[in-house]
Amino acid sequence: MKKKLKILVTTLLIFGLILGLAKAISVSFAKTEPKARKIVVFKPEIDETIQEILINKAGGEKIKDLKIIRGKAVWLTPQAEKNLAKRTEILRIDPDVEVFALERSNKISRISKPQPPQTITWNIDRVDAELSWSISTGDSVKVGVIDTGIDLKHPDLKENIKGGYNAINPSKSPNDDNGHGTHVAGIIAALNNNIGVVGVGPKIDLYAIKVLNASGSGYLSDVIEGLQWAVENGMQVVNMSLGTSEDVPSFRDAILNTYNAGVTIVAAAGNTGGSVLYPAAYDEVIAVSATDQNNQIASFSSRGQEIDLAAPGVNIYSTYKGSTYKTLSGTSMAAPHVTGAAALVIDAKKCDLDNDNICTPDEVRERLKQTALDLGEPGNDNLYGAGLVNLHQALTK
């Protein structure tokens, strides 16, 4: 009898322990909150040590520092975000939104190796780049391509690639695993050799700043870090053929600080057929819409009062990953024409409008707008801005 009672008691204890454990696990799962990527911006007087302490105390997990905006990209639970938001040291907490390459789907297949003979493509001819190389080829001007990276071994680019940075994974190279960034780079600065294509400025110094992944998307925090790297490493012009529909204050601050550092920022307007995307919609950025071979606005091109200039963006043949070439469309392809033009007017000092030996971003924009081919309604309009960029006019007029 005592033995049976002992077995019963033991069984009940085990059962109770199992129930308790199950309840504890249930409570534990119930309390587990999903984490989201956020950008935490601190007030100017809060030093780095205090920033780290506040993030750790809230239970956040730092992804990266964003010094250009006095912030950090952080993994936060909803409760951790609420706790941080109450702190007086915090200026704001922004969403770390996704940003995308602004390329249109195109079914034209890649041209494989061996390398094809060189051609002057219709778009390079349209902006009168080839007429300008006796004046400037952009030699020594530093241009950052903030994108999916660049094919570092492409024979039509590699001599112009002088460095770069991978903001997604700093331990890896900024080699392009998508193709978009390589296509953009070719429009800016493909070599004037005997193969493939020629860029707007065939001797521009290219820097691959990888912020988008193999699928052509990425996080805003990586884009901000890319801008930070561009400023710290002396880029004179950056090309941003990417965008988001969300106006995030941290993005605005990063763009403003880059502009204040004297960097000319050129961005694709977007492929929505409607409103201009960010960062192109910011005042500090040269926003570029896309035109076709008839100098007509592309149906997909975003439009609005933010547009500064237009450039070719339909059926653009350029370099692509894997040492190949491809024809793509999009405002992504239009923006690098203006980027290349900006680099050449800087090189030729044709943008020093006040004769102080400095070309400010505003002076670069003004020079390119003054010399553009007016399209659409007379003067500035919501489709073409001041008109089609014309490099030869910008260098000679």
**62-105: pLDDT as tens digits:** 999 999 999 999 999 999 999 999 999 999 999 999 999 998 76
Q: What are 230's two structure tokens?
A: 């561009």
Which residues participate in catalysis according to the annotation?
Answer: 147, 180, 332
Q: Compute the average pLDDT of residues 216-232.
A: 98
Between 61 and 110, residue with greater pLDDT: 61
CATH superfamily of 36-96: Peptidase S8 propeptide/proteinase inhibitor I9 (3.30.70.80)
Tell me the C-alpha distance between 84 and 181, whole Å: 37
CATH class of 100-396: alpha beta
SS3 108: coil
Q: Is the pLDDT of residue 21 over 60?
A: no
Q: Tens digit of pLDDT for each residue in 272-309? A: 999 999 999 999 999 999 999 999 999 999 999 999 99
Q: Tens digit of pLDDT for each residue in 47-62? A: 999 999 999 999 999 9
User: Would you state the torsion angle of the CA atoms of residues 358, 361, 364, 368, taken in this order, to the nearest 10 degrees?
Assistant: -170
**pLDDT of the residue at 104:** 76
Q: Which of 35, 32, 80, 38 is nearest to 56 (CA)?
A: 80
Backbone angles phi, psi at 71, to 5 degrees: -140, -175
**pLDDT of the residue at 353:** 86
**pLDDT of the residue at 282:** 98
Q: What percent of the chain has pLDDT over 70?
A: 90
Tell me the C-alpha distance between 386 and 397, whole Å: 16
Tell me the C-alpha distance between 188 and 198, whole Å: 9
Between 333 and 11, residue with greater pLDDT: 333
Q: Where is 15: in which H helix or E strand?
A: helix 2-31
**pLDDT of the residue at 168:** 98
**pLDDT of the residue at 115:** 87
Beta-bridge partners for 20: none
* Residue partners of 114: CB distance under 8 A and separation at least 6: none
Q: Is the pLDDT of residue 14 over 80?
A: no
Q: Compute the average pLDDT of residues 170-193.
A: 98
Q: Is the pLDDT of residue 27 over 90?
A: no
Q: Is the pLDDT of residue 329 over 50?
A: yes
Q: Is the pLDDT of residue 314 over 60?
A: yes
Q: Is the pLDDT of residue 107 over 80?
A: no
Ranking 117-121, 350-354, 375-379 by mean pLDDT, the lowest is 350-354
**pLDDT of the residue at 103:** 83
Q: Compute the average pLDDT of residues 334-341.
A: 98
Q: Is the pLDDT of residue 4 over 70?
A: no
Q: Is the pLDDT of residue 17 over 50?
A: no
**pLDDT of the residue at 110:** 58
In the chain, the DSSP E strands lie at 36-42, 61-66, 71-76, 90-95, 98-101, 142-147, 161-166, 205-210, 217-219, 237-240, 242-243, 264-268, 285-291, 307-312, 316-320, 324-328
Q: What are 51's two structure tokens?
A: 């920033």
Q: What are 186's two structure tokens?
A: 């070719």
> Cα dihedral sign for 191, 195, 196, 197?
positive
Q: Which of 213, 163, 388 is nearest to 294 (CA)?
A: 388
Tell me the C-alpha distance between 284 and 288, whole Å: 13
Q: What percent of the chain has pLDDT over 90?
A: 85
* Residue partners of 169: CB distance under 8 A and separation at least 6: none
Q: Compute the average pLDDT of residues 326-337.
A: 98
* Residue partners of 373: CB distance under 8 A and separation at least 6: 295, 387, 388, 390, 393
**pLDDT of the residue at 134:** 96
Instruction: List C-alpha distances in Å: 76 to 31, 144, 224, 232, 349.
Output: 14, 31, 19, 28, 47
* Residue partners of 306: CB distance under 8 A and separation at least 6: 269, 276, 280, 281, 287
pLDDT band at 246 (very low <50, low <70, confident <90, very high): very high
**pLDDT of the residue at 174:** 98
Domain boundaries, the chain: 36-96, 100-396
Q: Compute the average pLDDT of residues 207-219.
A: 97
User: Do the beta carbons of residue 343 and residue 236 sit within 8 Å?
Assistant: yes
**pLDDT of the residue at 108:** 52
Strand arrangement, sheet containing 161-166: 161-166, 205-210, 142-147, 237-240, 264-268, 285-291, 307-312
User: Do the beta carbons of residue 63 and residue 222 sit within 8 Å?
Assistant: no
Burial class (CB in 10 A: 0-12, 13-18, 19+), 350: buried
Q: Crossing angle for the helix pair 249-260 and 220-232, nearest 10 degrees? A: 10
pLDDT, averaged across the chain: 91
Q: Is the pLDDT of residue 111 over 80?
A: no
